[in-house]
Structure 1
Amino acid sequence: MDVAVGIVAQRDNERAQGLAAKLVETLERGAGIGEECDVRTVVDDATAEPIGEPGVPVAAMADRDLVVSIGGDGTLLFVAREIGSTPILGVNLGEVGFLNAVAPADAVDVVTDLVAECRDTGALEGRELARLEATCADGEWTLDPALNEVVVHGKRRGHGGGAAVEVRVDGDRYAESHADGVLVATPTGSTAYNLSEGGPLVHPSMDALVVTQMAAADGMPPLVVDPGTDLELAVSGPDTAYAISDGRNRQRLELPATVDISVADEPITLVGPRGNFVESLEKLE
């Protein structure tokens, strides 16, 4: 079986680009895989020129058997947004690396092992990570799925900003307060923005979502709910507000507005070794 591999290196990172070039060279000559397997590689278009290889947009890698993300968790989040459920392997060049479990020194061996597995079995099995989808209650818009969190907040953080946000859980009001905003996180995202807002850490093996108010005037404790819970954030106030997916995809809200948040139909798939969640926590500041 032929195997198609996409490689995405952190932008403007020479170390990541060098590792991408090494992976291309190793895979193209079949080292550690065998001559009976034709491995076709491509890198992202931002990496192509620095290493002298053909490049494509990351979104064009969605039909690959495997995509390797080289960088920090931010790079992997970007790759996940572009390729959906295509299997991803994260190589860690960042500080913490909750999503990127592979050290650069081990990358070539891990990638060649995965390619050989794909050759032998026809597909790669991994672990699925849930993503969140934010939708306008009237169906006018839907944000790109979020691996970490969806945030609804006022026109700005701090004094004079914020909005009145009512949190409804399966139709019942859980909290209502003027706040900078409200954040809904996956277990993956519990270690990110959620944690900085005082939300709880959630072990990656848990099937749950976290609802955390942000600087609420009359707040309730963060709430952990089942992924199937019907979550609604009803936002009101004199100014506009925003719904934001993973800190990038942004939708302006004309108030009053209601945002429905649910688990997206398509998770992402991580392959390769699992990181040690508890050890990674020691690296948090």
Structure 2
Amino acid sequence: MKVGLVAQKDNARAAHLAEKLREMLRERDVTIVVDTATATALGIDGVSPEAMQDCALVVSIGGDGTFLYTARGAGTAPIMGVNLGEVGFLNAVSPDDAVDAVRDEVAHIRETGSPHVREMMRLQASGDDWTLDPGMNEIVVQGPQRGHGAGASFEVRVDGELYTGSQGDGILIATPAGSTAYNLSEGGPFIRPEVDAVVVTEMCASEPMPSLVSAADSTVTVRVDDADSGFVISDGRNQQVIDPPETVTIERADQPVRMAGPPSEFFKALNKLD
């Protein structure tokens, strides 16, 4: 069995916990790989998360940003999140419980051949000649920059039906996991993780519609006009430059994120937002 460890970069507490997990896993004859940044802190050899796609389990130690980084590289490998952040919607395991939780999950995998897993959807954006890497939180389609007079005209259709059309900064399409992140800051609603849906939220629109919650298998198309350029951004990291007029299609990605271990306590995490 091989287990991957990814700890938040430049976080001594995360690196220390990664070392504790390494010690426990070595005692159980588990092959261990550690991400490059953490390996440097520990004085050992490391790999990128992309090299962890064949792991039986990957442990992400940090905040939601670390989990997203891990998920981008680890593909469909099951990921257990250990929360060192303030809220932790994606990380269900506390630092104090991490060693026991990983030990129990490894034992379960050895006994049954698979971890406890629940799937979270990703979204993928595409154009005529490009496809952006999937996003676990959201896809944003926006004009050349945000701010007064710097947006674009957007027409949004859901499964071919017109939802809205107005001038604004952009359009945000979020998963349930992403509903508590960028979507929330733009006035969009919470979606519980077990609800199979997407939410469409306009960003500083001149004539805004309320946010729309639609089925997870919906096809959302965003036509961008009246701008010299624009961007499509996945999880705030991967981006594609577009040349309006252009239509962007957003759909459920083929591969979900596979989350291992206990589920997060959604309402407990919500209370930390106050």
TM-score for the superposition, normalised by structure 2? 0.98
1:236 positional shift: 0.6
Q: Which amino acid aligns with 1:237?
A: D
CA contact (8 A) 1:58 1:82 kept: yes
Deviations 1:129-151 (A, max 9, x none): 00000001x2x111111000000
User: Which of 22, 25, 35 is matched with 1:24 structurally?
Assistant: 22
Match of 2:109 in 1: 118
CA contact (8 A) 2:105 2:116 kept: no
Q: Which amino acid aligns with 1:74?
A: G
Match of 2:256 in 1: 267
Identity value in percent: 55
The answer for unaligned runs of 5 or more in structure 2 is none
The DSSP-based 3-state class of the residue aligned with 1:5 is strand
Match of 2:170 in 1: 181
The DSSP-based 3-state class of the residue aligned with 1:221 is coil
* 1:258 counterpart = 2:256: no
Match of 2:67 in 1: 76
Deviations 1:18-46 (A, max 9, x none): 0001110111012xxxxxxx311110011
CA contact (8 A) 2:122 2:137 kept: yes
1:120 positional shift: 1.1
| In structure 2, distance between residues paired with 1:278 and 1:238 | 41
| In structure 1, distance between residues paired with 2:233 and 2:226 | 18
| In structure 1, distance between residues paired with 2:265 and 2:116 | 19
CA contact (8 A) 2:7 2:14 kept: yes
CA contact (8 A) 1:42 1:53 kept: no
- Which stretch shows the higher mean deviation, 259-268 or 235-244? 235-244
Q: Which amino acid aligns with 2:51?
A: A
| In structure 2, distance between residues paired with 1:57 and 1:205 | 30
Deviations 1:3-22 (A, max 9, x none): 11000010000000000011
Match of 1:33 in 2: none
| In structure 1, distance between residues paired with 2:147 and 2:60 | 35
Equivalences for residues 81-100 of structure 1 within 5 A: 81-100=72-91
* 1:145 counterpart = 2:148: no
Q: After the TM superposition, which segments of 4 or more aligned residues of structure 1 sit over 3 Å from their partners?
A: none
CA contact (8 A) 1:168 1:174 kept: yes
Q: Which amino acid aligns with 2:75?
A: G
User: Which of 208, 222, 229 is matched with 2:218 structurally?
Assistant: 229
TM-score for the superposition, normalised by structure 1? 0.94
Aligned length: 274
